Amino acid sequence: GLDLRVFEGFRSRVRQNKLYNNGKNVTKVKGGGSYHNYGLAVDIVFYNKNGEPSWSENHDWGQLGAIGKQVGLKWGGDFKSISDRSHLEYHPGINMREIQNVYRLKGLKGVWDLVSEKGEE
């Protein structure tokens, strides 16, 4: 089996900006521009034999991506701009601009209501 654990799910805008300011190799978007900021993304990582998170090339990231896609998630390993193999996200038929607009008007609950509605279509 795969020894996987959630490394990060919901991410505040403050944390997103901190990661952004640390360098573009972590994230290319500022706070409010990541699906993590709306609770719609998760980073899942492998753990090594010492019980520490590992992003090593030796892990079967393709299998993680395949499992995620089987259940309707988008996998960061398929991204064109940056390969983010630990990243999975869910936003059925909704783009970031739409999510940001709903968030401004109705907050996080409004975003989740929209995602639930679209996911049931």
Do 22 and 45 share a structural domain?
A: yes
**Is 121 a residue whose pLDDT tops 80?**
no
Q: What is the pTM of this model?
A: 0.91
Domain count, the chain: 2
Do 100 and 86 share a structural domain?
A: no
Do 103 and 51 share a structural domain?
A: no
Do 74 and 108 share a structural domain?
A: no
Mean pLDDT of 48-75: 95
Please write the tens of the pLDDT for every residue from 13-47: 999 999 999 876 778 899 999 999 999 999 999 99
Q: Which residues of 32-58 are buried (b: 16+ CB within 10 A; e: fewer)?
A: ebbbbbbebbbbbbbeeeeeeeeeeee
Do 107 and 66 share a structural domain?
A: no
Range of the domain at 119: 93-121
Contact indicator for 27, 20 with CB cutoff of 8 Å: yes
